[in-house]
Amino acid sequence: MAYYKGAITFGLVYIPITLSASIKENDIGFNMIEKNTMSRVKYKKTCVDCDDKEVKNEDIVKGYQYEKGKYVIFTEKDFEKIKTPKDKNITIEQFVNLDEIDPIYFDKAYYVTPTGGEKAYGVLLEAMQTKKKAGIAKTVLGTKETLLLIRARDGRMLVNTLYFFDEIQKSAEIKLPKIEKKELELATSLIDQMTEPFKPEKYKDEYNEKLMKAIKRKIAGHEIVEQKEEAEPAKIINLMEALQKSLKQAK
């Protein structure tokens, strides 16, 4: 299912595309249940000024409150009218080195599929791979302007939504104590010892697996068996001692 239908433009080049999700959610869903009747709990949309009467979806519109209790109504046609042709397309404004972008700016990733202009798509993809560059673009998704990163990965083109600069909150300042040379040497040695190539297939959602086993036990009428706690590492107050023992353990 396409998340977006439009086009990527850079210069005078126009590539019709769709965006589709690159991620599937593996979350296990739970319903809210009234414990005495075992009946589903539903949430109703009600009207504040009409005795909490339930409101149908077709009667709900979007309103902007400009004064207390006063609204201007916006329809989907209104939102479309204020979009320029540029807003409706993904317009590349510049190219950057991918490693220049701090991962804190990354939000969601989508696969890009051409729906025409396959040659232009291929040329752009190959050119970005050759130069190891990524495109910075903007478009309006729904009612929000969105910053995008267009990049190449394993012979496919992807689009990442990015947070704007003013959406990133500054962290609180931390005053660090003086770091001893020996402590730093041990820490870097420990990092070197624990460094290996990243293999994403190595990591699985183990809690999700335990949760599914627990659900199956419940369905079969069995109680959930309490998990035995793993032995906690001994608490070492001395940092040098902790680093030395960690390094020895890693080896």
- 135-159 pLDDT, tens digit per residue, is 999 999 878 899 999 999 999 999 9
Q: Report the pLDDT value the prediction gives residue 1, as an integer from 0 to 100.
A: 65
Question: How many Å apart are CA 112 and CA 79, to the nearest integer?
Answer: 25
CATH number at residue 98: 2.40.290.10
pLDDT bracket for residue 168 (50, 70, 90):
very high
177, pLDDT greater than 70 = yes
| 44: in domain | no
250, pLDDT greater than 80 = no
| 55: in domain | no
Question: Do both 137 and 199 map to the same domain?
Answer: no
Q: Report the pLDDT value the prediction gives residue 246, as an integer from 0 to 100.
A: 84
Q: Which helix (H) or strand (E) holds 170?
A: none
Mean pLDDT, all residues of the chain:
89
Q: Report the pLDDT value the prediction gives residue 71, as an integer from 0 to 100.
A: 93
% of the chain at pLDDT higher than 90: 54
Q: Report the pLDDT value the prediction gives residue 231, as an integer from 0 to 100.
A: 60
| 68: in domain | no
pLDDT bracket for residue 226 (50, 70, 90):
confident
Question: How many structural domains is the chain composed of?
Answer: 2
247, pLDDT greater than 90 = no
pLDDT bracket for residue 242 (50, 70, 90):
confident
Q: Is 123 left (phi over 0), alpha (psi -120 to 50) or beta?
A: alpha
- 192-216 pLDDT, tens digit per residue, is 999 999 998 998 988 889 889 999 9
SS (H, E, C) 77-122: HHHHHCCCHHHHCEEEEEEEEHHHCCHHHEEEEEEEEECCCHHHHH
Question: Do both 185 and 140 map to the same domain?
Answer: no
Q: Which helix (H) or strand (E) holds 230?
A: none
Q: Which class for 83: exposed (0-12), middle (13-18), buried (19 or more C-beta within 10 A)?
A: middle
Whole-structure pTM value: 0.78
Question: Do both 107 and 22 map to the same domain?
Answer: yes
| 85: in domain | yes
Q: Which residue range(s) make up the domain with 117?
A: 2-26+81-167
Question: Do both 128 and 161 map to the same domain?
Answer: yes
Are 60 and 45 spatial neighbours (Cβ–Cβ below 8 Å)? yes
Question: Do both 16 and 111 map to the same domain?
Answer: yes
133, pLDDT greater than 70 = yes
Question: Do both 97 and 160 map to the same domain?
Answer: yes
| 93: in domain | yes
Question: Do both 130 and 15 map to the same domain?
Answer: yes
Question: Do both 22 and 116 map to the same domain?
Answer: yes
- 13-24 pLDDT, tens digit per residue, is 999 999 999 988
Read off the pLDDT of each residue in 23-32 and give the average, rounded to a whole number. 89
75, pLDDT greater than 80 = yes
Question: How many Å apart are CA 251 and CA 247, to the nearest integer?
Answer: 6
- 35-67 pLDDT, tens digit per residue, is 999 999 988 888 888 888 889 888 899 999 999
Q: Report the pLDDT value the prediction gives residue 232, as an integer from 0 to 100.
A: 63
Question: Do both 21 and 126 map to the same domain?
Answer: yes
Q: Report the pLDDT value the prediction gives residue 121, as an integer from 0 to 100.
A: 95
Question: Do both 17 and 119 map to the same domain?
Answer: yes
Question: How many Å apart are CA 64 and CA 234, to the nearest integer?
Answer: 57
Q: Report the pLDDT value the prediction gives residue 106, as an integer from 0 to 100.
A: 96
